[in-house]
A and B are shown apart, each in its own frame.
Chain A
Amino acid sequence: MKILIVEDDLSLSEVMSVYLKKDGHTVVEAHDFGSASQKLDLYAYDCILLDIMLPGGSGLELLSKIKGMGSRTNVIIISAKDSIDDKVTGLELGADDYLAKPFHLAELSARIRSVARRSRMDGDFSLKAGNVTLEPETGRVFVGGNQVDLLKKEFAILEYFMHRPGHVVDKAVLAEAIWGDHVDQTDDFQFLYAQVKNLRKKLQEAGADIEIRAVYGFGYKLLA
């Protein structure tokens, strides 16, 4: 995918760029309103990561411009202002998603894939890894074509992993993603271990060829 990062913080822009390139995307950076506007006039992008507060203008202005051009480009707003007003304004202007800073790179990558999938319009929103297929909309999971019954939390965990195949996932981050930010970092994570254990067992019994591997006791990695 061809991605434009519009972010005035050079360091953050660079790290996003490197990460997304590793994910196999083509990445272009713009650090202010002027250059972003220019790039948008000249080239087409599949996805734009847009910061709202920019030197020289507002990201929301750029957003109206993009949507005004009738472009079907996906826009994900990335803002330090995690306020509902901004979120609502952004989404009303036609942004596809809103990610508040600070975010996890894996989350960003997952959101990019998610909006891209949604815009493909072919109706296939399912996630695939090995012989496992997960349908986020219907809440069903298939292993080699056979449906596997998962509990709500197990499903959420598997979905989280399948958005990030091959990436190391910190258990604290995973717990926060599934149970909300009320999970303390000092908690013992027994609740998480139990869920992951059940999930693994169910996948194994169904004959899945993917593996949720523990990484040195601090997290997991989905291996397809």
Chain B
Amino acid sequence: MKLLLKITAWLAFALTILLTGWAFCFYMATTDEINDETDDSLIDYSDGLIIRKLAGVDLPSDDNGTNNTYYISEVSEEYAMSRPWISFEYKEVFISAKSEFESARVLYRIFRDSDDRYFELTVAVPTFEKEDIQRSIMWWIVALYVAMLLSVLGISVLVISYNMRPLKAMLRWLDDYVPGKKMPPVPSGDNVTEFRQLSETISNAADRFEVRYQEQKRFIGNASHELQTPLASCSSRIEMLLDSPDLTEAQIRELVKVHRELQGLINLNRTLLLLTRIENGQFPETVMVDFSSVLKDSEEMFSEIYAGRGVSVVYDVKAPFLVRMNEQLAAILARNLLKNAFLHSSAGSCIAVRVDSRGFSVSNRGTEPLDSSRIFTRFYHSQSASEGSTGLGLAIVDSICRGYGLSVKYAFLDGKHVFSVKKS
């Protein structure tokens, strides 16, 4: 949920509660005021009637232009004593002047004349319809509510999005952030304390990431370097031992196995170093490389090495693919892709190499697609991977491509693994 939406929703919720309470109070206050005024006029009117009655003057007729109705009845002393002298109530009363029932405020007054006779005066005045008032107040509240909501929403959107600009800028910066990439400074938080703190926090965190990232990169490089000497020592000792004449065949076999394992380790280490050097940009010399000839050279070598498999290679060169890059890395790129194709091709199958001016692709027949999200990560091994594979070949391909603005993609099309390299 967007922050803006969330703030607006909460405002709407709070306003609903507030306005409902306010509407209730407003209604109560309005009805109280109306009742008060009505009661006062009823008292005045009844005062006049009682004075007239007691004075024996004629009482005004019922339809005297006001909507008031009244009647006076004589009551027993007990009844008079059991009732308050003055009381009010709301009642549906038949107004004779209007010949209909209307809601009315009714006043009851008990009084006594000089003969100690008790009378009850009932005066009714038609008053407002409660439902009418409630409905109209409700309508106004709803209208007010909607108007307020819309204006609050509009103002919030304007105010919040104006003030949240630094936050958005920081989010964009974080989106672009990649460890190891040169980045502009983190956007400042203007003069808002919290944003300034956030900006500083992001900046510090990014610096920490950067240091860790560099440390990690250095660590891989250093660790590989440090391993070279002991590896050389181990390998040399085995080679020396292999030369000694008093070894039995069984001993030589075991030693050779150890030596081969060690060579695997040496290869892995060397490849890791290569990867580190590529990522550190330690291959600065560039020439114009034509991939169609680089691919052809590699293919000839692999065709010789894998002659026993009977794998054929079909070329489709539409145009030369020229890239200005390091020659050594171009060869590594072509070899790694071709070698992969050779290694994972079944006997007698065919590898297709296509080159045009925009890129090249290498494809070989396969049974099931590979995990394209992980295929270019380090130490990815497919199920059919050979034992001696370092799992770094495609990671190196990816790394070389990134260094020269090329993109390498994998797809599984018509039962074929297709690796394509294009200018991105």
A interface residues with partner B (beta carbon < 8 Å): 9, 11-12, 15-16, 18-19, 22, 80-85, 100-106, 166-168, 170, 172-173, 179-188, 190-191, 194, 215-216, 218-219
Contact = CB atoms under 8 A, between A and B. Distances in A.
B242 interface: yes
Contacts of B243: 22, 166-168
B232 interface: yes
The majority secondary structure among interface residues of chain B is helix
A194 B304 CA distance: 11
29 contacts: A12-B230, A12-B232, A12-B236, A15-B236, A19-B239, A19-B240, A80-B228, A80-B229, A82-B273, A85-B282, A102-B228, A102-B229, A102-B231, A102-B236, A105-B240, A166-B243, A173-B263, A179-B305, A180-B301, A182-B302, A182-B305, A183-B305, A185-B263, A185-B264, A185-B267, A186-B388, A187-B305, A190-B308, A191-B306
Interface in B98-140: none
Contacts of B230: 9, 11-12
Contacts of B232: 12, 101-103
B294 to A, nearest CB: 14
Nearest to A18: B240
A190 B282 contact: no
Contacts of A181: 267, 270
B301 A182 contact: yes
A36 to B, nearest CB: 16
Contact of B236 (A19, A81, A85, A180): A19
Contacts of A180: 301
B239 A191 contact: no
B301 A184 contact: no
B228 A101 contact: yes
A179 B335 CA distance: 12
A172 B258 CA distance: 13
Nearest to A176: B263
B201 to A, nearest CB: 39
B252 A185 contact: no
A83 B277 contact: yes
Contacts of A168: 242-243
A100 B256 CA distance: 22
Given A102-B231, A172-B260, A188-B308, 20 more contacts: A15-B233, A15-B237, A15-B240, A18-B240, A19-B239, A19-B240, A22-B243, A80-B228, A102-B232, A170-B259, A182-B339, A184-B386, A184-B389, A185-B260, A185-B263, A185-B387, A185-B388, A190-B307, A194-B307, A219-B256
A198 to B, nearest CB: 13
B225 interface: yes
Contacts, number: 111
B407 interface: no
A11 B266 CA distance: 17
B343 interface: yes
A80 B225 contact: yes
Contacts of B368: none
Interface of B: 225-226, 228-233, 235-237, 239-240, 242-243, 249, 252-253, 256, 259-260, 263-264, 266-267, 270, 273, 277, 282-283, 301-302, 304-308, 335, 339, 343, 386-389
A185 B307 CA distance: 16
A186 B339 CA distance: 13
A84 B386 CA distance: 31
A173 B260 CA distance: 9
Contact of B305 (A22, A170, A185, A191): A191
B388 A184 contact: yes
Contacts of B228: 80, 82, 100-102
Nearest to A221: B243
Nearest to A85: B282
A186 B301 contact: no
Contacts of A15: 233, 236-237, 240
A107 B230 CA distance: 17
B282 A16 contact: no
A84 to B, nearest CB: 8
A181 B263 CA distance: 11
Contact of B239 (A9, A85, A106, A185): A106
A57 to B, nearest CB: 17
Contacts of A80: 225-226, 228-229
B387 A186 contact: yes
Contacts of B266: 102
Contacts of A216: 249, 252-253, 256
Which of B232, B266, B267 has the most chain A CB within a 10 Å cutoff?
B232
A194 B233 CA distance: 32
Nearest to A78: B232
Contact of A105 (B239, B256, B283, B304): B239
Nearest to A188: B308
B240 A191 contact: no
Nearest to B265: A102
Contacts of B253: 216, 218
Contacts of A186: 386-388
Contact of B235 (A81, A102, A215, A219): A102
Nearest to B339: A182
Nearest to A104: B239
Nearest to A183: B305
A11 B388 contact: no
Given A182-B339, A186-B388, A9 B263 contact: no
A83 B282 contact: yes
Given A19-B240, A102-B235, A172-B260, A184 B308 contact: no
Given A186-B386, A187-B305, A9 B229 contact: yes
A59 B244 CA distance: 33
